[in-house]
Structure formats: structure tokens, C-alpha cells
Amino acid sequence: MVLYIIGLGLFDHKDITLRGLEAVKSSNRVYLENYTSILHCPHEQLEEAYGKTIELATRTDVESESDKILEGADVEDVSFLVVGDPVCATTHTDLMIRAREKGIKTRVIHNASVMGAAGSSGLHLYNFGSTVSIPFFTSGWKPQSFLDKLEFNRRGDMHTLCLLDIKVREPDFEAMTKGKTVYLPPRYMTVNQAVEQIIEVLPTRESEYKIKEGTLCVGMARLGHDDQCIKAGTLEELRGEDFGGPLHCFIVCAEEVHELEVEAVEEFFVEGSVWKKK
């Protein structure tokens, strides 16, 4: 018996592979990880397409109470569905480790992810360094560790893919003080919010490899979808651009961008970009 960890791709119920669909149909229980990313269709549509009841798995279910998912996976097939590719988030690797410790056989079924789809920008994937995550700032918490990694990449002349924060099932602390369990509406960081946060903390950065006024950046939204949006320019040029609905991600380019990459990105330059004149 097997715990299948199955990538669903980037768009909707149709993006699952044939191998993944066969695994789902053979499973007695099916879970959908519901907090690191989103599909552009409700999970009920997945249930209808796959012919299975699908239980939504929260961060708590996966990271703190995974025994519920793993229970019985040594005697029956269980599918754990992940938007994108299963091995692009450390939380899924952790689930595989815990399954292995319990003697449960696991099998990963891969699919498209933002890591590969970022190549839609025209930038060469082999010129990328470490991927970073940009969290939502709060009034008392404005971490800059992602900028440390970003500047490290730029020191090596590498691009940086920035994954933007998602807040799902975020507790309403004001309601909790009144004894109520209430969750705030989901929040998905936009390219514009990421840019604003970077601009806010840039004056505090002293590295010679920090983002500069003319650094080429690429904002992307809904990669792999029919209405995906890609726009390129400087931070200031992208600041007010409309990228539409979630999910968004962001690329900060290397100190030096290869001429073939510039030529490929050219179709995405915003109107009036200084990069159009280079």
C-alpha cells in the first residue's frame, strides 16, 4: 500500500497527470493540501472530475496532526494532493519523512510548478539562485532575511524567484479575546505589495549588491493559467501596475542580464520602461 503525494499543476482540475489520476482513483482516502497554494477551481470540481471525496488538509493537519493522514496508509492507498509539484515545499518533504519513519511506502508523482513556469518570463532558469519567500510585514515585524539571500544571489550574478506570502485560516485575535474562533478572509500578497515592502526597507541595506534603481524585475501572476500576466521593468515601474488576481510571484534579476534574456523579456516591458531604451 502507498501514500501517493501528487502534484496537481498550476491551473485547475485538468492539469493532473494521467499517472496522478490513476493513483487518485485507486486510493481509499484523498486529501488536498490547502495552504501553500491555490487552484483556480473549487475542490468540489476536483471531486466531480476525479470521482472521489476530497478532504481539505490545513497547515495544522499536515504539520502538527499528520497522523490522521498517515493512519492506515500501510494497509490502503492514500493520496495527498498538492498544487504545483510536491517537492517544492519543505512541509511536503517533512510529511514524506514521517511516513518513512512509520514504514509507509511513499510515491511522488510530479507536475508543473512555479519553479519551472518562471521561465515564461524569458529568463534562463539555469541563471537562477536560491528561491526566497517574502512575508507580509506587520507594524512590529519587518524581516529582511529574504533580502540577504537576494543580495547573495546578485553577488553571484543570479536571478531570484520570490514567492509571495499567502495567509489562509488566519486567526482573528480580536475575536479570540471574546472567546470566539474566527478566521480572517484569505490574503494573497500581490507584486505591488512585495515591491512596496522592498522599497520601504531598501534604505537600510548597505550591500553593494542590493536592488538598485535600474534593476530589472519581473512580476508574474496566475502562471499556467489562460490569463497569466507577466510585466517587466524596474521596481518603481512595477509599483503601480495591475497584475489582476492571485497568485503572484516576482523575480529580481541579476546584476548583469544576458542579452538573449533581455531580448526575450522585451515583450513584457511596461510602457515607457527605461529598459526599452537599452
Residues comprising the chain, all counted: 278
**Inter-CA distances, 226 with 85, 110, 118, 198, 229, Å:** 19, 21, 15, 29, 9
The model's pLDDT over 218-275, given as tens digits with 9 standing for 90+, comes to: 999 999 999 999 999 999 999 999 999 999 999 999 999 999 999 999 999 999 999 9
Of the candidates 212, 201, 220, the residue with the CA atom closest to the CA atom of residue 254: 212
The C-alpha atoms of residue 276 and residue 272 are separated, in whole angstroms, by 7
Q: How many Cα atoms sit within 13 Å of 250 on the Cβ side?
A: 30
Q: Which pLDDT value is given to residue 198? A: 95
Binding-site residues for S-adenosyl-L-methionine, in ranges, read: 10, 85, 113-114, 164, 223, 248
Question: By three-state DSSP, how is residue 193 classified?
Answer: helix
Q: Taking the model in full, what pTM does it have? A: 0.92
Q: Which three cell numbers stand for residue 186?
A: 484569505
Residues tagged in the binding site annotation: 10, 85, 113-114, 164, 223, 248
pLDDT per residue over 132-166, tens digit each?
A: 999 999 989 999 999 999 999 999 999 999 999 99
